[in-house]
A and B are shown apart, each in its own frame.
Chain A
Amino acid sequence: MPTHAFEELAQDYIKPLYSYCLSLMCDPHRAEELAQETLVRAYENYPSLKNPDKFYPWLKGIAQRCRWTWFRSAKHNPVDLRVHSDQDGVSPTLQDDGPSPADQMEKRERTQELLRALKKLSRPNREVVILRYFEELSYAEIAMRLGVSIDAVDQRLTRAKLKLRNLLQYAEI
């Protein structure tokens, strides 16, 4: 299989892959790392891929396996991750119009908390939340990406949000 095909295919699937990684890791930095690792693996093994139509499921599979490998190795433990994200969790745009450092701190805290809560959801629910609020896809697009009905997407979102509410309430207490 020609190499340029991989690059073309991969460019098409960057966003879905990144969202998926985020739903796996619940952390933007580690998600990006995971996406990179996945792309390396995918590139290495691309000649073994038989059916280019299944490129995205294949990528997802690789991402999952990479994540498992990380979990097994001591290098990427959850504690490590939090230090990472606390260091540079602030985006430059927010810094520009951020009212005060204390406010910023609070917001960052809240985001972290939300991501942690997100981690406790089931994967399908988490995926829907991320596709909706991070990738900002429409309901129809989400339904197509996940291969389920729009109603199901709605239900999952509702369920995920209610669960999140409970989790966050407990976290506040």
Chain B
Amino acid sequence: MNDSSLRTINSFLSRYIDGELSPDEKKFVEAHLHANQKLQNTVEALQTISTLLKESFSEIESMDAAAARLGNFIIRLPKQVRQKPKRWRLDWSLFFSTHRRRQLAGIAVFVILAVLITPTMILPHLQTAQTDSMKSVVAGDSIQLGRRASTIVQEKGTQRRGVAAKQTERFGTYGFGMGGMGMGMPGNSDTVLYFEGAPVSPHDKSPAPKQFAAGLIAQNAGREIVGEKYISTDKKSGAQPEKSSDQAFEQPDARKIIRNADMLVEVEQLADAQSAVERIVSEAGGLTAQLTLREKEKPPWAQYTLWIPAERLDAVLEECKKLGEVQHLESAIQDITEQYFDQETRIRNLQRQEERLLKLFERDAVKMEELLKVEQEIARVRTEIEQMQGRQRLWDRQIQFSTLTLNLRQIPEEKPIAESKPKDVFTPLRRAFQDAVAVMMYSLSLMTKLLSWIFSFAVFAVPWIAIILIGWYVGKRFLRQ
């Protein structure tokens, strides 16, 4: 007998014992019973148990009596127990039956709106971000390296300017590389300023500034020098003679002070103010390190990061105050005298060490190994010196040129109109009304913002809510079972 027929037999056994099989089925079982002793034993055991079950259950009080009692119990229920009010539950059957179509339409509209509105909400931001990044003129690190003189280079047919840096001869490649980032990137470098370094210390032997500039310009055809300006103090104002590191060390009394200022001015016309700023900066011998311009915004504004010769900073601030209404002015100084001269001493020590090493290197009777070691040592010392000198040049630049962050903001149009009207008794009332309208508009704008937030949050939350609901239902099912 195989397994499958045994399984079939197993689903007949109880009925066989209870005599509830059809004649055919009965024959089938009996045929198997004859052949299988084990099956016979099972049937016997089943019979015993069935009898036992029948007997035992007959001893338990009969079903009818219990049912009768429970029936009475049910009749008494309304008098003894109060029904609880209907519980509120989210009715999903409604969702998919009665109002299904309307609701599905609602969801569809919602989804379509989400698809349409979300990009229109995001895209303008992306676009302004792009135009902004194209408008800002960022001076790279290379600008911080040089400081002595600058040639302002302007691109043909535009107002754009920039700085390229050349540090010293020894840094030539490096400085050129950094400057090249501003100048040489074909296609997108619309901003070029050239900034070259005069010899800083006796160790620096740069080529003549103009020569270098000419070289750079030759490499960047299509641009021309429209103006040449030496803002190095010894060449222009002469108020503060240029100091090399060594000279500075010989005058330890000179304080090393960095001055910075931050200013916010409200102007009537941004374009006018911008040209005024450019004039002020060029008169003061400063330059624009960075410019961010947002003309399309309301109100339009511009942010300048200006490098102004330190001694002219106060004058420039005064000039800038005349541009419009000063909303904010912050000025700070930082005294770095101590660090500066510490660094100075360190550089001198290292230079002496370098000289000694060079002497060692020049001796003839030296082994190859030692020669290599000395060479390594020279390279290390040289690097260190150069790093320190680089930092010092940055400091020099910061000391000589104060950084002025100038924010220009155009006055919103309503304001001058309100102020230009002649004052009369009703002015306060009108003001109050205008204020009220402004507040209401503000409140409305906040409301729209809030709505847009809620909307984006709803869109954001849809998958989460779906997951949570599914989890809830599955969990409920699972727990119930």
- Distance in angstroms from A11 CB to nearest chain B CB is 6
- Distance in angstroms from A109 CB to nearest chain B CB is 10
- Distance in angstroms from B5 CB to nearest chain A CB is 14
CB-contact partner of A36 in B18, B45, B60, B70, under 8 A:
B70
Q: What is the predominant secondary structure among interface residues of chain B facing chain A?
A: helix
Docked CA distance A61–B59 (Å): 29
Docked CA distance A31–B46 (Å): 27
- In the complex, chain B residues whose CB is within 8 Å of the CB of A153: 14
Q: How many of B's residues come within 8 Å of A, CB to CB? A: 46
CB-contact partner of B54 in A133, A157, A162, under 8 A:
A133
- Distance in angstroms from B89 CB to nearest chain A CB is 8
Q: Which residues 55-99 in B have Cβ within 8 Å of A in the complex?
A: 55-57, 59-63, 66-67, 69-71, 73-75, 77-78, 81-87, 89, 91, 93
CB-contact partner of A44 in B12, B62, B82, under 8 A:
B82
Query: Are B45 and A91 interface neighbours, CB within 8 A?
Result: no
- Distance in angstroms from A95 CB to nearest chain B CB is 11
| B339 on interface, CB distance cutoff 8 Å | no
Docked CA distance A133–B17 (Å): 13
| A55 on interface, CB distance cutoff 8 Å | no
Chain A 130-173, CB within 8 Å of chain B: the 1/0 string? 00011110110000000000111111011001101100100000
- In the complex, chain A residues whose CB is within 8 Å of the CB of B314: none
Query: Are A138 and B20 interface neighbours, CB within 8 A?
Result: yes
Given the interface contacts A15-B63, A61-B480, does A47 sit within 8 Å of B85 by beta carbon?
A: yes
Q: How many of A's residues come within 8 Å of B, CB to CB? A: 55
CB-contact partner of B73 in A36, A136, A158, A168, under 8 A:
A36
| A24 on interface, CB distance cutoff 8 Å | no
| B49 on interface, CB distance cutoff 8 Å | yes
- In the complex, chain A residues whose CB is within 8 Å of the CB of B60: 28, 89, 91, 111, 134
Q: Which residues 28-59 in A have Cβ within 8 Å of B in the complex?
A: 28, 31-32, 35-36, 39-40, 43-48, 50
Query: Are A114 and B56 interface neighbours, CB within 8 A?
Result: yes
Task: Name which residue of chain A comes closest to B61, CB basis.
Answer: A91
Query: Are A3 and B84 interface neighbours, CB within 8 A?
Result: no
Given the interface contacts A28-B60, A47-B85, does A158 sit within 8 Å of B78 by beta carbon?
A: no
CB-contact partner of B74 in A10, A91, A107, A134, under 8 A:
A10
- Distance in angstroms from A35 CB to nearest chain B CB is 6
- In the complex, chain A residues whose CB is within 8 Å of the CB of B10: 154-155, 158
Docked CA distance A80–B380 (Å): 92
Query: Are B66 and A28 interface neighbours, CB within 8 A?
Result: yes
| B15 on interface, CB distance cutoff 8 Å | yes
Given the interface contacts A44-B83, A108-B59, does A7 sit within 8 Å of B53 by beta carbon?
A: no
- In the complex, chain A residues whose CB is within 8 Å of the CB of B198: none
Docked CA distance A28–B67 (Å): 12
| A129 on interface, CB distance cutoff 8 Å | yes
| A20 on interface, CB distance cutoff 8 Å | no
Query: Are B63 and A139 interface neighbours, CB within 8 A?
Result: no
- In the complex, chain A residues whose CB is within 8 Å of the CB of B83: 3, 43-47
CB-contact partner of A32 in B48, B56, B69, B85, under 8 A:
B69
- In the complex, chain B residues whose CB is within 8 Å of the CB of A74: none
Query: Are B49 and A39 interface neighbours, CB within 8 A?
Result: no
Query: Are A165 and B85 interface neighbours, CB within 8 A?
Result: no
CB-contact partner of A164 in B13, B49, B69, B74, under 8 A:
B49
- In the complex, chain A residues whose CB is within 8 Å of the CB of B20: 138-139
Task: Name which residue of chain A comes closest to B70, CB basis.
Answer: A14
- In the complex, chain B residues whose CB is within 8 Å of the CB of A40: 77, 81
Given the interface contacts A39-B73, A154-B14, A162-B42, does A44 sit within 8 Å of B63 by beta carbon?
A: no
CB-contact partner of B11 in A15, A48, A152, under 8 A:
A152
CB-contact partner of A43 in B63, B71, B78, under 8 A:
B78
Query: Are A32 and B42 interface neighbours, CB within 8 A?
Result: no
| B36 on interface, CB distance cutoff 8 Å | no
| A84 on interface, CB distance cutoff 8 Å | no
- In the complex, chain A residues whose CB is within 8 Å of the CB of B85: 47
Docked CA distance A93–B186 (Å): 111
- In the complex, chain A residues whose CB is within 8 Å of the CB of B87: 45, 48
10 shortest interchain CB distances as A-B pairs: A157-B14, A151-B11, A47-B86, A161-B49, A111-B56, A133-B53, A155-B11, A114-B56, A133-B57, A48-B87
A19-B63, A158-B11 given; name 11 further pairs at CB < 8 Å: A3-B78, A11-B71, A14-B74, A39-B70, A47-B85, A48-B86, A61-B480, A91-B62, A151-B11, A161-B46, A165-B46
